[in-house]
Structures are given as structure tokens and as C-alpha cells.
């Protein structure tokens, strides 16, 4: 009859080998468990909620391209008014330029001042014409610039005609006026420019900000009316 295997009956060396093998297997199992747990922690699977299907970033970008991603830019461009083209309101030469950064000397006031328009020399009584289509928004007397007419155009643009003859203003507030229509005649009502030769003080504002009128007068009008050959 065969003798049953008994661990206690094995020699001491065999017992040590068995114990070492078991220890190695246990340690291996523990290491595998630790590595597996760490791997799951560092790379968790995304949790999906039922009934949701979120588009990816690329999907959103592609959708924007398919719908025309320039639509926003087109809206902004549509808000920008086209630059208004003007004609010179009177025939003559520019005797004083538009200057906001560098003051110019006023012969009348005897001091250096900024100049918010251009002075165009013309004979006393010379006719003054509207520079562009618009509506007469103001007819008034300025303490320094004298009798003046203000015309409002599209795009927040306003033109001002000053140093007019008080008796010869040909328009009233609210009048719709076309480019080239008569506004009045050159006078000597500007108290701040009495020492200067007869002229029209012509100014342009965009959204309330003074700009150089020459940036709006057409090249043809500069040459024909103002004698400016280099444009």
C-alpha cells in the first residue's frame, strides 16, 4: 500500500524550498494587484451618462465651417459705414490747415490754438455749397466761429460751414439738402478770425470727433476747387 504524502515528514531542505516558492507566488500576486490598481487610477474610463451624446471639439469646428464661420465678420463689416465722398464747399485756396496735434497761431487772438477745420480763402459774399447729401441739423451763431450751418450725413458724419454772412443763410433746420446745393455766402462773422482774409471755415466731425476735411473731399474736387495738384 502506497504511503500518503506528508509535508511534515519531508526533509528540512524541501520544506524551505516549498516555503520559498509559496512566498514568491504571494509576492507576485500582491505586485500584480498593485500595478493593476495604479493603472486603473491613472487611466480612468470616461463615464457616460445615459441619453447624452456630446459633440467633439472637431465636430463643433466642422459645424462652424459648414455654417459659414465668416458670418460674424460680415456683420461687423456691415456696421462700418462707407467713407463719404465730399466736394469742396467753396472755390479757393487753403490758408489754414486742420491741426489738432500742432497748434497754429491765431492773428486775431494773438495766441497758439488748435484748428478743428480748414480755412478756404474766398471773396466776401462768395457762394458756399453743401459738400454732400444730408439734412440741415443746426443753424446757429458760434461765439468764436460766427454764423454757422451744420449738416448731418449718413454714418455719423457732420459737416460745418462757419464764418457765413448772417443775412445770406439759404437753409433752415430740417431741410433735406443735396450735394452742391446753396448753403449761404462767405461773411466776416467769426470773432476769432477777424484779422484773417475773407474765408470759409469748413469742418468735419465723425461721431463727434474732429477729422481732417481733406480726407473726405474727392481728389477731383481738390484739384478743381482748391488747386491741390498732389493728391
Q: Would you report the helix, strand and coil content of the chain in percent, each value rounded to 5?
A: 30, 30, 40
DSSP 8-state class, residue 86: B
Residue 72 makes CB contacts below 8 A (sequence gap 6+) with none
pLDDT the model gives residue 75: 38
**Cα distance between residue 228 and residue 222, in whole Å:** 5
Q: Please give the grid coordinates belonging to residue 37.
A: 490598481
pLDDT the model gives residue 30: 65
pLDDT the model gives residue 55: 46
pTM: 0.64
Residue spans of the domains in the chain: they are 1-43, 94-226
Which candidate, 137, 136, 142, places its Cα nearest to that of 117? 142
69 contacts 98 by C-beta, under 8 angstroms: no
pLDDT the model gives residue 141: 97
- Reported as a pLDDT band with limits 50, 70 and 90, residue 13 is low
18-25 contact pairs (CB < 8 A, 24+): none
Average pLDDT rounded to a whole number, residues 171-178: 98
- Reported as a pLDDT band with limits 50, 70 and 90, residue 9 is low
The pLDDT > 70 percentage for the chain reads 68
Q: In the CATH scheme, what is the code of domain 94-226?
A: 2.70.70.10
Per the DSSP assignment, residues forming a β-bridge with 26 are: none
End-to-end CA distance of the chain: 126
- Reported as a pLDDT band with limits 50, 70 and 90, residue 184 is very high
**Cα distance between residue 225 and residue 127, in whole Å:** 13
Write the pLDDT tens digit of every residue in 84-133: 999 999 999 999 999 998 888 878 777 888 899 999 999 999 999 999 99
Which candidate, 198, 205, 197, 202, places its Cα nearest to that of 221? 202
Write the pLDDT tens digit of every residue in 40-86: 655 555 454 444 454 444 444 444 444 444 444 443 334 444 679 99
**Cα distance between residue 91 and residue 124, in whole Å:** 12
147 contacts 201 by C-beta, under 8 angstroms: no
Q: Is 203's pLDDT higher than 70?
A: yes
**Cα distance between residue 194 and residue 163, in whole Å:** 10
Which candidate, 103, 111, 122, places its Cα nearest to that of 161? 122
Amino acid at each position: 500500500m502506497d504511503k500518503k504524502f506528508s509535508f511534515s515528514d519531508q526533509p528540512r531542505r524541501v520544506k524551505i524550498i516549498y516555503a520559498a516558492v509559496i512566498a514568491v507566488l504571494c509576492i507576485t500576486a500582491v505586485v500584480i494587484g498593485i500595478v493593476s490598481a495604479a493603472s486603473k487610477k491613472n487611466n480612468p474610463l470616461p463615464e457616460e451618462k445615459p441619453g447624452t451624446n456630446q459633440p467633439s471639439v472637431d465636430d463643433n469646428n466642422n459645424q462652424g465651417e459648414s455654417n459659414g464661420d465668416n458670418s460674424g465678420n460680415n456683420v461687423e463689416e456691415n456696421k462700418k459705414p462707407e467713407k463719404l465722398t465730399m466736394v469742396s464747399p467753396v472755390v479757393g485756396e487753403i490758408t489754414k490747415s486742420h491741426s489738432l496735434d500742432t497748434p497754429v497761431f491765431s492773428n486775431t487772438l494773438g495766441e497758439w490754438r488748435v484748428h478743428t477745420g480748414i480755412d478756404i480763402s474766398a471773396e466776401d459774399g462768395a457762394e458756399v455749397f453743401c459738400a454732400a447729401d444730408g439734412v440741415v441739423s443746426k443753424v446757429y451763431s458760434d461765439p468764436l466761429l460766427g454764423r454757422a450751418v451744420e449738416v448731418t450725413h449718413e454714418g455719423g458724419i457732420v459737416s460745418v460751414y462757419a464764418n457765413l454772412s448772417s443775412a445770406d443763410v439759404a437753409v433752415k433746420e430740417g431741410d433735406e439738402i443735396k450735394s452742391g446745393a446753396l448753403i449761404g455766402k462767405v461773411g466776416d462773422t467769426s470773432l476769432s478770425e477777424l484779422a484773417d482774409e475773407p474765408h470759409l471755415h469748413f469742418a468735419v466731425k465723425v461721431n463727434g470727433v474732429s477729422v481732417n476735411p481733406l480726407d473726405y473731399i474727392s481728389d477731383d474736387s481738390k484739384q478743381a476747387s482748391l488747386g491741390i495738384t498732389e493728391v
